[in-house]
Chains A and B, each alone.
Chain A
Amino acid sequence: MGSTSTKIKLRTSDQKVFEVEKAVAVQSQTIKYIYENGCPDSVIHVHSVSGDILSKILDYCKKHVNSAAGKEDISPEELYEWDANFVKVDQNTLFDLILAANCLKIESLLDLTCQTVANMIKGKRPEEIRTTFNIKNDYTIEAEEAVRRENKWAFDMLGGVGTMVIEELADDTMSKCVTNAKSRVCVIAANQIVMMRSISKLANKKSIDVYKQPQNPTTPRIKESVKQINVGTGFIELFFHFKCKM
């Protein structure tokens, strides 16, 4: 088994040399192309990638190759979590990973990192996006107001309007949720609240009762904590993303 694995040498921009198995290295379409069309024995130069980034990328490739080949016993959910932890890095490293994945043409890594950045953008307001990504605001105040007003989507908020996403509910619990939803803000979440920003002019509600569903579905729901939301200037956006099993 071990004798069939060929090794490929990769040299980075800062002159570090990595030796990896061929199966791991050819996850990158660029390396695969160079290997198949050029120099099978000598070292492949990856000029645009530094040593640290390449070592992270090789970790990623190795994990995915091993899980696909069945060498590691890892379920799809665990792999998904591993990926999620993999991209929990600072923004500069994330951008370096994106650039490297783009240059080395590793599609799954590029998708993963781009989706991460998209998720960072998704919950933020324009002002915060500008600070996070260092974007210059080239609108005048009137122009910005005009753009904000056009084509607005009305997001249905939880506060006061009773919106919930409930999965696989029994009939009697469903009816309880629906009636409760109208009268007060009632959030039932098994996972954490992933993103929370506020738009709640309508509700005037400054607090939410968060109920956490215990593992055993027969025990009643327990009120876990009460979170205060500060009503800031003007509108606050409320996004809830949660799943719930009862």
Chain B
Amino acid sequence: MPIPPSLASTLLHQIDQDQALIPGLPNDVAALILSFLPYSHHCRLKPTCKPWYIFLSSKTLHSLRRHHRRRSLSHLLCVFPEDPHISSPFLFDPQHLAWRPLPPLPCNPHEYGLCNFTSVSLGPHIYVLGGSLFDTRSFPLDRPSPSSSAFRYNFLTSSWDRLAPMLSPRGSFACAAIPSADQIIVAGGGSRHTLFRAAGSRICSVERYDVERDEWEALDGLPRFRAGCVGFAVREGGEEGEFWVMGGYGDSRTVSGVFPVDEYYKDALVMELKGNGGGKWRELGDMWGAGETPRFGKIVMVEDEDGGSPPAIFMLDDNDILRYDMASNRWQKECSVPRRAPCKSSYGLVVLNEELHVMTIVNGIDSTETRRSRQQKRAGTLFMQIYHPRKKTWRCLVTKPPFRQPLDFSTTVMCPIQL
């Protein structure tokens, strides 16, 4: 909720340049002290005095935290439980177990039911790109169409900005942020909606977004169309060198002449990023051998913050964690999730602070399942099992999310961000 304009203007007029943040210390040292505070604590300290309010809401604090004290950045998770136009996304701080709602996306009266969008964080901003939605202006009404819109959340003004739309509309695509060049790359995608488990188009186009110029540029397309794929940018020596795309589905065939079934891709593709312009795609071949059973699950990448070693890529498939070996293009089993989820629910997988977070909802009751009208909707508890790839240990965290419905991890979009 942005501050009322009357309060903001009175505050700015009354601030005296010589007012000390902490009496007894010069302002630059006091600023350094305040920059050590975790992000979730900033808001509760703003009522201390007006200079603190101004400083804690300012851009200087954010840039001080990013550039000087990288290790004290708070690792937060942005959770989009449903269509972000209607229900607010939430920011979650796992270290202090704190939740904060963000304002919903600006509502478009013609579009509803947005899902399968991608959320990525680049610097101190969250981007929401694409997705699949229903457009009331389209005919026929019950066919979902892909969306090309792009939004960015600005934490300083607490508002969503609409950015230049993508060249081709898409949902369920591979997306990666390139922090060193301030760009976002998207690849593939389609129009599949979560209401329909099949159907939907697939495309093969690849685009790159430049944050400073606010424009999308088409790059070399994928060899074959694919949707539902995962993408990540691999760093070498401080700079992003390659963009990888894994998995996804392409053609579909029908079983018994009736049921459409997707043909899942078993391979990975790599695009070189260095040396201006989009590079060519290099096919790595199938990740599963001829006799092996391919496994399809959520794939995430854990980066090595200090550089040096290549990133570790993990897949979570049905209680097993698999690690990808770049040299041999194969997956090996790393370990199993210690506590299994109840059979109906699926896992949420996200990487925060170089650790794998496997999330399930325990004891959640979906209100549509019960007939008793007085049954209170219970969002259940969010049970997170956290794996540290280097130490190879598990730990767990339990928290009560502030949602009214239990989270459905097959459709919830989550995005880690560092503030």
A residues apposed to B, CB below 8 Å: 95, 98-99, 102, 110, 114-115, 117-118, 121-122, 125-126, 129-130, 133-139, 143-144, 146-156, 161-169, 171, 174-175, 177-178, 181-182, 239
- Complex contacts, A169 vs chain B, CB 8 Å: 395-396
Interface residues in B, total, Cβ within 8 A: 53
Cβ B97 vs Cβ A144 within 8 A: no
Least CB distance, B69 to chain A, in whole angstroms: 9
Instruction: Decide yes or no: A168 and B29 within 8 Å by CB, A151-B100, A162-B400 being known contacts.
Output: no
Cβ B7 vs Cβ A156 within 8 A: no
Interface centre among A117, A164, A181 (most CB of B within 10 A): A117
Cβ A153 vs Cβ B43 within 8 A: yes
Interface centre among B38, B53, B400 (most CB of A within 10 A): B400
What would be 22 A-B contacts, judged by CB atoms less than 8 Å apart?
Answer: A99-B26, A102-B29, A114-B29, A117-B33, A118-B36, A121-B45, A129-B45, A130-B48, A133-B24, A136-B49, A146-B7, A147-B3, A150-B2, A154-B100, A155-B96, A155-B97, A163-B97, A163-B400, A166-B396, A169-B396, A178-B383, A239-B96
With both beta carbons as reference points, the residue of chain A lying nearest to B44 in the complex is identified as: A153
Least CB distance, A76 to chain B, in whole angstroms: 16
Cβ A168 vs Cβ B32 within 8 A: no
- Complex contacts, B162 vs chain A, CB 8 Å: none
- Complex contacts, A98 vs chain B, CB 8 Å: 25, 29, 33
The proximity string for B residues 335-363 relative to A, scoring 1 for CB distances below 8 Å and 0 otherwise, is 00011000000000000000000000011
- Mark out the residues of chain B between 192 and 210 whose CB falls within 8 Å of any chain A CB in the assembled complex: none
Instruction: Decide yes or no: A164 and B398 within 8 Å by CB, A118-B34, A133-B23, A174-B338 being known contacts.
Output: yes
B residues apposed to A, CB below 8 Å: 1-4, 7, 10, 14, 22-26, 29, 32-34, 36-38, 40-41, 43-50, 52-53, 93, 96-100, 158, 338-339, 362-363, 381, 383, 393-400, 402
Partner of A178, one of B33, B100, B398: B398
Cβ B29 vs Cβ A99 within 8 A: yes
Task: Tell me the bound Cα distance from A105 to B381 in angstroms.
Answer: 47
Instruction: Decide yes or no: A163 and B398 within 8 Å by CB, A152-B100, A153-B40, A178-B383 being known contacts.
Output: yes
Task: Tell me the bound Cα distance from A174 to B50 in angstroms.
Answer: 45
Query: Total contacts A to B, CB within 8 angstroms?
Result: 138
Cβ A153 vs Cβ B99 within 8 A: yes
Least CB distance, B57 to chain A, in whole angstroms: 9
Cβ A146 vs Cβ B22 within 8 A: no
Task: Tell me the bound Cα distance from A197 to B33 in angstroms.
Answer: 22
With both beta carbons as reference points, the residue of chain A lying nearest to B14 in the complex is identified as: A138
- Complex contacts, A118 vs chain B, CB 8 Å: 33-34, 36-37
Instruction: Decide yes or no: A156 and B33 within 8 Å by CB, A122-B41, A162-B398, A168-B394 being known contacts.
Output: no
- Complex contacts, B22 vs chain A, CB 8 Å: 117, 133, 135
Task: Tell me the bound Cα distance from A117 to B363 in angstroms.
Answer: 41
Cβ B50 vs Cβ A153 within 8 A: no
Cβ B338 vs Cβ A171 within 8 A: yes
- Complex contacts, B395 vs chain A, CB 8 Å: 165-169
- Complex contacts, A146 vs chain B, CB 8 Å: 3-4, 7
Task: Tell me the bound Cα distance from A117 to B22 in angstroms.
Answer: 11
Instruction: Decide yes or no: A156 and B97 within 8 Å by CB, A129-B48, A168-B393 being known contacts.
Output: yes
Task: Tell me the bound Cα distance from A166 to B402 in angstroms.
Answer: 21
- Complex contacts, A150 vs chain B, CB 8 Å: 1-3, 43
- Complex contacts, A134 vs chain B, CB 8 Å: 23-24
Task: Tell me the bound Cα distance from A152 to B395 in angstroms.
Answer: 28
- Complex contacts, B48 vs chain A, CB 8 Å: 126, 129-130, 135, 137
Least CB distance, A232 to chain B, in whole angstroms: 17
With both beta carbons as reference points, the residue of chain A lying nearest to B1 in the complex is identified as: A150
Cβ A130 vs Cβ B7 within 8 A: no
Cβ B381 vs Cβ A162 within 8 A: yes
With both beta carbons as reference points, the residue of chain A lying nearest to B71 in the complex is identified as: A111
Other than the given A121-B45, A154-B99, 12 more pairs (CB < 8 A) read A99-B26, A121-B34, A130-B49, A134-B24, A139-B47, A147-B47, A147-B53, A153-B100, A162-B400, A163-B398, A171-B338, A178-B383
Least CB distance, A220 to chain B, in whole angstroms: 21
